Structure formats: C-alpha cells, structure tokens
Amino acid sequence: MTLSTIREGLAKNLGTIDGLRYAGSGFVAPTINPPYALIQPSTIDYHKAYANGLSEYSFVVTIVVGQVSERSGQALLDQFCDTSGAKSIRQALELDRTLNGSAYDCTVTAMRNYGSIVIGENNYLAAEFDVAVKSN
C-alpha cells in the first residue's frame, strides 16, 4: 500500500467524529478552524518481515481544539483523549483497523504533548496521538 492510501484511511476513520476537520495532506494551513486534525507520517520501518511482507508506519495525529484562552477547549480536548465515546480519537482511529483495506492493523499507542501550540500567530490547545499502522 502507499502512504497516501494509509493516510486516507486514517482520515476516513477520523471522519466519524462529528465536526472534526482534518488536513489529510499533512500540512497546516496558516489559519485553521478548530476542532482540527493534522495527520503526519513520522517514520516508516521497512522489512519488518521477510520478502517485504510487512512495513510499520508511524503517524502523529495532532488534534487542535481552539485557542488557549477559550474555556471550552480543555473540556473538548479531554473528550478527544478519552479511550471511548463519540469524540474519542482512539476509538475513531481503531474503528476500521484495516483502514479500508490498506493495512493489517492500526493502533493508537499513546497520547502526548497535551498543551499549547502556535499556528500562524495564534496559541491553540492541542494534543498529539501516536498511531502505528502495519501494512505490506
């Protein structure tokens, strides 16, 4: 499979969260309209099995909920960090673990860097999710 088809599968799974917008290209626009998800590849480990039978792709999915000064941002980000529920990033990304047939498995391994980030000239509240995808 290709990096693009895997990213499309991740975006499709994130699309099950009502109101969440995403940048499937992996590039942040200078201005965004939260809640917003950015899907970026981190690493690809080739040759995880003989005859190129398995590669492991690592992605970072960054969820941006709103400007730091907005009171509702933390409550919303907490919902995205929950292990289950209508806004759970983990639950959404693992909903179709084959990513529409482009992977053997998709697992959210961690949430990290909960806090402030700068996009353009604005401070936003965000969290990053590490995602491991196994594919051929």
Could you tell me the residue ranges of all domains in the chain?
Answer: 3-135
The per-residue pLDDT for 27 is 63
pTM of the model: 0.90
Q: What is the CA angle 129-131-133, rounded to 5?
A: 170
- CA–CA gap between residue 118 and residue 135 (Å, rounded): 33
Residues of the chain falling short of pLDDT 50: none
The per-residue pLDDT for 51 is 62
The per-residue pLDDT for 26 is 57
The per-residue pLDDT for 119 is 85
Look up residue 47 and give its DSSP letter: -
69 touches 124 (CB < 8 A): no
Structure tokens at 107: 């697992």
Rg (CA), the chain: 15
The per-residue pLDDT for 120 is 82
Bridging pattern class, strands 21-23 and 122-135? unpaired
Say whether domain 3-135 belongs to CATH 3.30.2000.30.
yes
